[in-house]
Amino acid sequence: MALQSPHSTPARLTASATTKLPRLLLLLLAVVYIFAGLYFRDPWKTDDVVGLATMLTALHGPAHALWLPQIGTLAYAQDGPFVMWVGAFSIWLFSPLFEFFTSPLDAAIIASRLPNFLWFGLLLWSIWYGTYLLGRRPEPQPLALPFGGEPTVRAYGRMIADAALLLILATAGIMWRLHETSEVPAIVAFQALAFYAVARMLDHPLSGAVTLGVALGAAFLTRGWIGALPIMLAVPFAFAPRSALWPAKHWLIVAAVIATSMILLWWIPASHLSPYWVENWWLWNVNSFGWPQSAALISILRDLPWFLWPTWPFALLAIWRWRSWLYAPHIWIPLMFAVWPLAVMCFLADPFEPEYSLMALPVAVLAAFALPTLRRGVVNSLDWFAVMCFSLTCATVWLGWIALQAGWPTQIAHNIARQTTGYQAYISWPAVAIALAGTLCWIGLVRWRLHSKPSALWRGTVLSACGITLTWLLLVTLWMPALDYVRSYRSVSAQLSVTLKALTQPQDCVRAAALGVGQRASFYVFNGIDFSYSSKCKLVLQQTSPQSVEAGTAGFDGAQVLWEGKRGADRREMFRLLRIN
């Protein structure tokens, strides 16, 4: 399919539609987005607390744990070591400073989340500059107007880049994931860096190839084959014979050499340090793939549209509107970065949000290129939808908080009480003040939209990004104490620790039965409780359910029950410390 002449472009735009978005607004939005929910909470299971556990083990565990991720004595042979390295270095460097103001554990938690600013900054920088490079090319430029007045190339590219950045912030599914101490923020950032590098290779092949090699190597060291394979497949297919990248295809050798060298520099020592860990790593990666299963495909069809809301409809529209320009870089490159994560996902045994996250960036970029093809009436309708949708979600968060504090409305308060059994509600006035300030900012933004009638095309994306950020801000200010109570294992871990100190001797060991990875990591993080694999251990920590205990199907008949505990609001999970005779 040959590229058509510039006169057939579906983009229709005037210069006023590309008015520059204030940089201060972008900066303020990004700061609020990443700060909200990153601190003033415990690490939650599973990926959040697992990432922190590997960092602490690297610092305080066996020597090989600094090279091969471990959770205490458990070989966490799944992902790569890159996030662990960065997080452990951050804890080692900054936690002594934070210990002047808080406990050693909380200081380590604070320090472990500092790399999230790095991953978030890399994501925003890469998506903005990568989209800008594509947006200023001749293929996506809007139709020239008969009497002039079309935007300049630079203004048009800047507007598209701003829209892509705002749309990635507006993507609902990645919001919580970008605040985790896990591999997800890093793998999304390295995918974004690879996207930027491919776009850069259109005009600067050498620098683009070097950057691409670093991004591919870092992606593999972050999440193994599951995280790296979708990116590694997207890159060569972006260099299709009919694409503008085809003349630069030989530079891929440079990227491949750099990526391979980075991987081998870790892999060769790892193979000598712990063949057991490496063998289990291979088994986990291989067993994660298989032929498509109907249950997994149904799960993808059900969950992915919600995860990628509200960008995916616009991405599909962009593909349709620019179908005659399919091989143009501004469509083909993000399309390949979207197609291959989706294709790989279909061959995974259990695809979920970490895999969905690799769809967010390319879909946001495609959605940005759909905006210049929309009619003004459609854009206005989308503005009002964003205003109504996020005003409603914010009002809902406030109403739920009022029900939690005051017990009214009765039915809502009853439903909340069922999910937070044992929680004693209280008001944090600084958090309420921040929530009120955010709400007033939203009211001001809506008022601006109502009264100024702006023509800038980024207005809808600003409303969406600010609306979902405000919703997130309200959740993590008004609801954080309740969420922490429901999701944190700090209290139950402390109870277990006290019991073990009172009932055991230093030479006693404890092994685990049916204990999940997230729970194991939580006990290790909060109280340094590690579990042996020796069958000689007479003490067993069992993870079970109240229903199984009541029915007598929990197992370990005749064992002495030394302790039972659970999170206050959890109705399906409990722990028992048993002594086996």
Predicted local distance difference test score (pLDDT) of residue 3: 47
Residue the block writes with tokens 């620098």: 207
Distance CA(261)–CA(263), nearest Å, equals 5
**Residue 304: Cβ within 10 Å count:** 20
User: Cα angle vertex 334, ends 242, 176, to 5°?
Assistant: 165
Query: In this structure, what is the dihedral angle of CA atoms 17, 23, 24, 30, given to the nearest 10 degrees?
Result: 100
Predicted local distance difference test score (pLDDT) of residue 515: 96
Cis, peptide link before residue 43, omega less than 30° from 0? no
Residue 430 pLDDT level (bands cut at 50, 70, 90): very high
Q: How far is CA 155 from CA 16, 18, 35, in A?
A: 10, 6, 30
Average pLDDT over residues 18-33: 96
Predicted local distance difference test score (pLDDT) of residue 2: 41
Distance CA(558)–CA(159), nearest Å, equals 70
Predicted local distance difference test score (pLDDT) of residue 512: 96
Residue the block writes with tokens 């409603």: 392
pLDDT in tens, 378-427: 888 889 899 999 999 999 999 999 999 999 999 999 999 999 999 999 99
Predicted local distance difference test score (pLDDT) of residue 423: 93
Distance CA(405)–CA(416), nearest Å, equals 10
pLDDT in tens, 460-498: 999 999 999 999 999 999 999 999 999 999 999 999 999
Q: Which among 77, 74, 85, 67 is positioned nearest to 269, based on CA atoms? A: 67
Residue 326 pLDDT level (bands cut at 50, 70, 90): very high
pLDDT in tens, 288-310: 999 999 999 999 999 999 999 99
Predicted local distance difference test score (pLDDT) of residue 415: 93
Q: Which among 182, 173, 197 is positioned nearest to 125, based on CA atoms? A: 197
Higher pLDDT, 146 or 340: 340
Predicted local distance difference test score (pLDDT) of residue 578: 95
Q: Are 225 and 270 in contact (CB under 8 A)?
A: no
Mapping DSSP to helix (H, G, I), strand (E, B) and coil, where does residue 539 land?
Answer: strand
Q: Which amino acid is at 379?
A: V
Higher pLDDT, 82 or 148: 82
Outline where 239-325 has alpha helix (H).
Answer: 252-273, 275-287, 294-307, 312-321
Residue 511 pLDDT level (bands cut at 50, 70, 90): very high
Give the sign of the dihedral formed by CA 29, CA 35, CA 38, CA 41.
Answer: negative
Predicted local distance difference test score (pLDDT) of residue 468: 97
DSSP state letter for 142 = P
Please give the structure tokens belonging to residue 216.
């591919």
Q: Are 454 and 20 in contact (CB under 8 A)?
A: no
Whether residue 1 is predicted with pLDDT greater than 50 in this model: the reply is: no
Predicted local distance difference test score (pLDDT) of residue 569: 85
Predicted local distance difference test score (pLDDT) of residue 352: 93
**Residue 363: Cβ within 10 Å count:** 29
Distance CA(465)–CA(119), nearest Å, equals 19
- The domain limits of the chain are 42-113, 121-373, 376-487, 490-579
Mapping DSSP to helix (H, G, I), strand (E, B) and coil, where does residue 571 land?
Answer: coil
Give phi and psi for 564, each to the nearest 5.
-135, 140
Predicted local distance difference test score (pLDDT) of residue 376: 85
Whether residue 5 is predicted with pLDDT greater than 60 in this model: the reply is: no
Chain mean pLDDT for the chain: 94
